Amino acid sequence: MGWDESLWQKVAATALVGTERQPFTVPTATGLLGKLLSQLNSPSPEAVLLTTAATLSLYKRAGGLPAPYSVPRQETCDRTDLPRCSLRAARLLQQMLQGQFTALLPEWFTLAAEAGQRVPELQLPELLDLARQQGGLRAILLPVLGQRGRWLATQNSDWKYAIEVATAEDWETGNQAARLLYLQTLRSTHPEKARELLQATWKQEAAGDRSKFLATFRTGLSSADEPLLAAALGDRSKEVRRVAADLLASLPTSQFCQFITSHTTSYVILNREPTLSITVNLPTEFDPSLLQYGIESKPTQQFASILGEKAWWLLQLIAATPLSVWTNGGIPVAELVNAAKYHQWEAVLLDGWARATKRQQDAEWSEALLQEWMIGKRFERNVALLDINPMVLLEEMPPDRQNAFLISLLRPNQENLDDLLTLWSFRDSYPQWSVELAQLVLDRLGTYMTQHTTFSNLVWDLKAVLQEFARCLPVSLVPEVLKLQSCITRDSPWAPSIEEFVAILLFRKEMAEAFAGDGG
């Protein structure tokens, strides 16, 4: 063994300062290396230094050995994993990650989850990064990560979100997010256990935390939660009081609801004869006993400019009153809504009901209010609804009713495009369209596009909407869409948007096929 690191260091030190300042002598070494070094000679010390450097560095490089492995072995990934998606599905995923049809990523994840498959290994790092940046993707990505994805995520703190399972320990010592997650999870399985945990630490929690923790009670809410919620109505924090009142309003048997109901029914009287009418009698003074139930006497800043004090009391009361109060005695919802029409308090009544509907997640009321709003063209009369978007009520309806509602919305007007554009306003709560609804939309599009071939603002509006529509259409309608496309001439202003429309749909169809065992 002729090598010694100091051999090199001597040469390097001289090279650094230069031979004109420090004379160079060839270092001596043992063995073959020493023999070789001793043969280097030249009248120029620089030449000798350079050849010595070459010899030593080559000697070192030719003899370098790999290091033995000293770190503890890491865990291997569990071999029993979901089957990997097909090559075809993997290619489509790759295509989306490279920027094409990226908006369809959620659909890919959903299809994969339905097929019980996982994403390909090669795309894991990119997907884990993507969902780290876009929190909205996490919930749908997690089920298709497979063991492999979770195994990978354990090794990178950036991907912690993928393996975070909240534990009881998190509740004791974790940060707010971890504790919230734990409470949320526990609520869905053991709501009473979650309530006891929160009850125990209630007084020590900060106000911001209290309201967030309490909001998790929406999951698994029952009358057993009433005492804690009732106590929270007297909380120092306004936000906590608001959350508690919201939750209590969803418990029709609660004392809260009873109390509110007794007030509401004394202020708002339903007369059944001869036809249903509504009489509203509000007291001149605010009843201070309502305060303890979260009803406020002065409108919040948001409402101060559009509502008087009395309207404000009424709105809060109706919003907190169980909807069953109104339909007791067999009054149909539609009749109630109709009776509110043109009423002096129309906006407050409808808005209050809409809030109660959202709180109590009532499908029947949702539909009746939406009917009134969309088909009764209430929005055309400029009766201001306060701050609730009626479209969110669509979510409370079962899918078949959603479709039926949208069909009834579209059916009557064959010529007008506005309704089609209206569909767009439901984009946040889009259902998967039924074949019937989709066919109706296609027919309407076909009629409109063949009749209107000049550019207008509507063309631009519809262009944007079409991309959204292409995501709602059942993929089985591809032949119909191709038929529609064949009716559009190449020079029509619609041609490019229809082409993109078809492309999106075909891509979705390919995704569906790739998960239907047709992936090759």
Partner 1 sequence: MSVQWTAEQVLALAPDAASAKNGRGLASRRKWVSLGSGPSIVWGECQGSGKDPYRTQIDLREPAFRCSCPSRKFPCKHGLGLFLILVESPTEFVETDPPTWVTDWLATRSQKVEKQAEKQAKQQQQAADPEAQAKRSLARQQKVSAGVQELRRWLEDRIRQGLATVPQESYQFWDNVAARMVDAQAPGLARHLRDCAGIIHSGTGWSDRLLARMGGIYLLTEGFHHLESLPPSVQADVRTQIGWTMNQDEVLKEPAQADLWLVVGQQTEVEERLKVRRTWLYGLGKANFALLLEFAHGKQPFEYSLFPGTCLEAELVFYPSAYPLRALIKNRQEAVLLKQNPPGMNIHQAIGTYHQGFAQCPWLEQFPMLLQAVVPFQEQGIGFIRDEQGMLIPLSPHLDAKQVWQLLALSGGYPLTLFGEWNGSSLVPLQVWVEEECYGLG
67 binds partner 1 (CB under 8 A): yes
Which residue matches tokens 């106000």?
A: 207
List Cα–Cα distances, 483 to 184, 414, 502, in angstroms.
49, 19, 11
- And the tokens for 59? 């000697």
Using the minimum distance from each CB to partner 1, give the nearer residue, 23 or 135. Answer: 23
398 binds partner 1 (CB under 8 A): no
Secondary structure (DSSP) of 134-197: -GGGHHHHGGGSHHHHHHHHTT-GGGGGGT----HHHHHH--HHHHHHHHHHHHHH-HHHHHHH
Minimum CB separation of residue 152 from partner 1 in Å reads 5
Using the minimum distance from each CB to partner 1, give the nearer residue, 44 or 451. Answer: 44
Minimum CB separation of residue 330 from partner 1 in Å reads 59
Using the minimum distance from each CB to partner 1, give the nearer residue, 48 or 394. Answer: 48
Cβ neighbours of 488 (radius 10 Å): 20
Out of 6, 23, 43, 44, point to the residue binding partner 1 (CB under 8 A): 44
Name the phi and psi angles at 20, rounded to 5. -75, -15
177 binds partner 1 (CB under 8 A): no
61 binds partner 1 (CB under 8 A): yes
Please, what's the largest Cα pairwise distance for the chain?
126
Minimum CB separation of residue 28 from partner 1 in Å reads 18
98 binds partner 1 (CB under 8 A): yes
Number of residues that bind partner 1 (CB under 8 A): 62
Using the minimum distance from each CB to partner 1, give the nearer residue, 54 or 269. Answer: 54
402 binds partner 1 (CB under 8 A): no
Using the minimum distance from each CB to partner 1, give the nearer residue, 88 or 310. Answer: 88
152 binds partner 1 (CB under 8 A): yes
- Pairwise CA distance, residues 219 & 201, whole Å: 20
Out of 148, 355, 358, 378, point to the residue binding partner 1 (CB under 8 A): 148
- And the tokens for 33? 């290396």
Out of 269, 435, 503, 516, point to the residue binding partner 1 (CB under 8 A): 503
CA 267 to chain centre: 41
* Stretch of 72-80, 235-243, 301-309, 444-452 contacting partner 1, by CB under 8 A: 72-80
List Cα–Cα distances, 375 to 196, 371, 380, 416, in angstroms.
47, 5, 10, 14
126 binds partner 1 (CB under 8 A): yes
Q: Is residue 162 within 8 Å of residue 128, measured between CB atoms? A: yes
CA 281 to chain centre: 43
- Binding residues (CB under 8 A) for partner 1: these are 8, 11-12, 15-21, 44, 46-47, 49-58, 61-71, 74-77, 87-88, 90-91, 94-95, 98-100, 121-122, 124-126, 129, 148-149, 151-152, 155-156, 503, 510, 520
